[in-house]
Amino acid sequence: MTAPLELPHGPLMIDIAGLELTERDRKCLIHPLVGGLILFARNYRSKEQLSRLTAEVHALRSPPLPIAIDQEGGRVQRCRDGFTSIPPMRSLGALWEQSPSEALGAARDIGYVLAAELRACGVDLSCTPVLDLDWGHSSVIGDRAFHRDPEAVVQLAGALIEGLHHAGVAACGKHFPGHGWAEADSHVAIPVDDRSLAEISVDMQPYRRLKLDVVMPAHVIYPQVDSRPAGFSPVWNNILRKEIGFGGVIFSDDLSMQGASIAGDVVERVTAAWDAGCDMLLVCNAPGSVDDVLERWQPVFDPVRSARIARLLPNAALPAMQGNPQYIAGVKMAEVLLS
């Protein structure tokens, strides 16, 4: 086997087209600008196939590329067949209203199940939890949110994060400072939230109080704070870094989404997100855009940001599943909440 290429993590997180790596994929993944891979449903057929794929990706470089996926539960669950069906987070919010203690235990156990199953297949990070408040405005968020009450969100997300961390997986809070108020879907439009900073502060409570490894800003414009979407805004980055004190990795949301189009073409988008302070820049579902960035973009390498990205790789042993009481309890609770 070829020795892995010794290369620090670059700032781009890209995707691949299929179930296994092509020569084009390998060429892109060993490019110095690339620092991670994100997987989608099209990249998953079975646990065995996923394990082979992630092992090959990890073997390409040293330190290995972090491999991420959106495995929130509910309608956002990329790996399904062979994985536990995770309920939408709103179901935990509904349980919270009946029994907060039971809901917290369920969130903790379900977080462990989610993370343990991914790690067993070589996936390092799930882009979860969604921390947006459920204001009832945003259909793209909807039941992905835990609750409208920020205290419920803090408690439930905190318990889920405990489960993720217990299984050795980092937690990615999204979408800072909050996507629950704006109605438009940033995948296909540019959402706007006209509230003042004081009004938005309630949405930011989870970011102030939770132990997050990654934060993903929203492709939402908050014009009373800045004319740029949060992911392109040094103003919002300053609030996150200096006021809130976040020291982890800042992921851009997918820069191929319509909500990012305000920044220009794809090279202008990655430049704007990088200059705003994002450490990891996601370019997904657009292979031509990836090629364009790799050919045209020439940022100054930042070892501090690269070191942050390296911390996303799990440093603990694989978590136990068979016979593990927490895993068994999480699977059973997921089944109950889905019934």
CA distance 163 to 200: 28
Is 203 labeled as catalytic in the residue annotation? no
* Residue recorded with tokens 């997180």: 13
175 among the known binding-site residues? yes
Q: Which two tokens stand for residue 37?
A: 């891979």
90 among the known binding-site residues? no
3-state secondary structure of 316: coil
> Residue 315 to residues 119, 310, 312: CA-CA distances in angstroms?
11, 10, 9
Is 253 labeled as catalytic in the residue annotation? yes
Q: Name the residue among 226, 223, 232, 241 with its Cα closest to residue 308.
A: 241
187, 194, 265, 275: the active-site residue = 187
124, 253, 254, 279: the active-site residue = 253
Q: Name the residue among 231, 246, 253, 187 with its Cα closest to residue 13.
A: 253
CA distance 326 to 138: 33
CA distance 116 to 83: 10
Q: Name the packing angle between helices 100-120 and 89-98 (round to 10°).
A: 150
What single-letter DSSP state applies at residue 255? T
3-state secondary structure of 207: helix
Q: Name the residue among 146, 57, 177 with its Cα closest to residue 337.
A: 146
78 among the known binding-site residues? yes
> Residue 197 to residues 135, 193, 202, 232, 302: CA-CA distances in angstroms?
17, 10, 9, 17, 31
Burial of 249 (0-12, 13-18, 19+ CB in 10 A): buried
26 among the known binding-site residues? no
Annotated binding site for substrate: 70, 78, 144, 174-175
Annotated binding site: 70, 78, 144, 174-175
| Residues with catalytic function | 187, 253
